[in-house]
C-alpha cells in the first residue's frame, strides 16, 4: 500500500482529483450503507430548498468524497515543501497570529470538510501543533497516516488520557492543538446536542480544555479548489468563550460546524455516521 501511495503521489493533483470523481461514484454505487447514509444525512440537513436542487448537491458531494481519498497520496507522501505549496491562499490567518502574540493557546477545530488533512501540515510548518491519533485496524494504513501527518512541528498523541494531558500541556505552553469537532464522542466523553436538527453525540473535550487554559478557539476549513488548483484555508474565530454547561457548549460547537458546512456543503463528509450512538452513551432523550 505504501508503495502504491508513493507512486500516486507523483501524479499531478488535477489527475488525482479526476480519478477521485470516478472513485467517488464507484464507492457510492457499490453495495452497502455508504450511499444511503450519504443521502439521508444530506437531505435531512435542511440545506436543500427550492433554490437548490438536492440531486445536484448530492452529485457534487459524491465527486468531492472521492477526491478526498484520491488526494491523500499527494498530501501525505509528497515532499513536505511541495505539499505546502498546494495551499494557494489563506483567509483569516492573522487572527491566529494575533492570538499567539497575545500569549494564548490555540484550539483548531477542523470539521470533516474539504482537505482537512492538509490543515495540520500547513500549521505545523509555522508553529507547533499537537493532535490526537487513533491507529486504524490495518497496520499499513496506520504507518501511512503517521508518515503523512507527523511532519513539520506536528506531534501525534494517543486518544486516551495521556493524549488529553499532552494537549493540555501544549495549550499551557501557548501552542496549538487540533480537534475534529464533528466526530462522534466516545461513550461517557460526550453529550447529545443538535446538529442540523438531529441529536448528535458531541465531544466535550474542547470546552473543557478552553476553561482550563483560556485558549482561543478557531474553526478552520481547507476548501478544495476546482480543477485540482490546490486549497484555500479559511480561519474563522469562534469569537467568544464556550459556555460552562456541557450541552450548551456542544450546541455552540455544532452550530459553528453547521455554519462552516453551509459555506462548503458539497465538500462535507456526508457519509460519516455522525448520528450513531456509542454503546455506553445514554439515549438522546436522557441527555437533558
pLDDT tens across the length of the chain (288 residues): 677 888 999 999 999 999 999 999 999 999 999 999 999 999 999 888 655 678 899 999 999 999 999 999 999 999 999 999 999 999 999 999 999 999 999 999 999 999 999 999 999 999 999 999 887 788 878 888 888 999 999 999 988 899 999 999 999 999 999 999 999 998 678 999 999 999 999 999 999 999 999 999 999 999 999 999 999 999 999 988 899 999 999 999 999 999 999 999 999 999 999 999 988 888 886 444
Task: Give me the helices (H) in 30-138, please.
Answer: 34-43, 54-70, 72-77, 80-84, 93-101, 117-124
Q: Is residue 49 part of a domain?
A: yes
Q: Is residue 284 part of a domain?
A: no
Domain of 198? Answer: 2-275
Domain count, the chain: 1
Q: Is residue 39 part of a domain?
A: yes
Q: Is residue 287 part of a domain?
A: no
| Separation in Å, CA 4 to CA 116, 144, 155 | 22, 11, 25
Strand runs (DSSP E) across 140-288, as ranges? 154-158, 176-179, 190-195, 198-203, 216-224, 231-237
Q: Which pLDDT belongs to residue 286?
A: 46
| Cβ burial 89-124 (10 Å sphere, 16+ → b, else e) | ebeebebbeebbeeebbbbbbbbbbbbbbbbbbbbb
Q: Is residue 239 part of a domain?
A: yes
Cell of 36: 444511503
Q: Which pLDDT belongs to residue 36?
A: 95
Q: Which pLDDT belongs to residue 287?
A: 44
Q: Which pLDDT belongs to residue 144?
A: 86
Q: Which pLDDT belongs to residue 288?
A: 43
Give the phi and the psi of residue 88 in degrees, each rounded to 5: -80, -30
| Separation in Å, CA 105 to CA 12, 20, 216 | 36, 37, 6
Q: Which pLDDT belongs to residue 204?
A: 93
Grid coordinates 436538527 are at which residue? Answer: 197
Q: Is residue 288 part of a domain?
A: no
For residue 159, the 8-state DSSP code is S
Q: Is residue 218 part of a domain?
A: yes
pTM over 0.95: no
Amino acid at each position: 500500500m505504501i508503495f502504491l501511495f508513493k507512486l500516486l503521489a507523483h501524479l499531478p493533483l488535477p489527475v488525482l482529483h479526476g480519478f477521485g470523481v470516478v472513485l467517488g461514484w464507484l464507492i457510492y454505487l457499490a453495495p452497502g450503507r455508504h450511499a444511503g447514509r450519504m443521502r439521508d444525512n444530506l437531505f435531512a440537513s435542511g440545506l436543500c430548498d427550492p433554490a437548490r436542487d438536492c440531486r445536484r448537491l448530492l452529485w457534487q458531494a459524491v465527486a468531492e468524497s472521492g477526491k478526498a481519498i484520491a488526494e491523500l497520496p499527494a498530501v501525505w507522501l509528497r515532499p513536505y515543501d511541495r505539499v505546502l505549496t498546494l495551499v494557494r491562499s489563506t483567509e483569516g490567518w492573522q487572527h491566529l497570529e494575533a492570538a499567539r502574540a497575545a500569549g494564548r493557546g490555540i484550539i483548531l477545530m477542523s470539521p470533516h470538510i474539504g482537505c482537512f488533512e492538509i490543515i495540520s501540515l500547513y500549521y505545523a510548518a509555522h508553529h507547533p501543533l499537537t493532535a490526537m491519533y487513533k491507529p486504524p485496524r490495518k497496520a499499513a494504513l496506520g504507518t501511512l497516516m503517521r508518515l503523512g501527518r507527523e511532519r513539520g512541528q506536528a506531534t501525534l498523541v494517543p486518544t486516551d488520557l495521556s493524549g488529553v494531558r499532552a494537549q493540555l500541556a501544549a495549550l499551557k505552553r501557548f501552542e496549538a492543538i487540533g480537534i475534529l469537532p464533528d466526530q462522534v464522542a466516545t461513550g461517557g466523553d460526550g453529550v447529545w446536542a443538535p446538529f442540523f436538527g438531529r441529536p448528535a453525540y458531541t465531544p466535550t473535550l474542547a470546552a473543557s480544555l478552553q476553561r482550563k487554559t483560556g485558549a482561543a478557539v478557531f474553526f478552520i476549513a481547507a476548501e478544495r479548489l476546482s480543477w485540482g488548483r490546490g486549497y484555500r484555508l479559511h480561519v474563522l474565530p469562534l469569537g467568544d468563550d464556550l459556555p460552562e454547561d456541557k450541552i450548551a457548549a456542544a450546541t455552540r460547537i455544532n452550530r459553528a460546524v453547521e455554519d462552516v458546512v453551509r459555506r462548503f456543503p458539497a465538500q462535507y463528509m456526508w457519509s460519516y455516521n455522525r448520528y450513531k450512538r456509542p454503546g455506553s452513551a445514554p439515549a438522546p432523550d436522557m441527555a437533558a
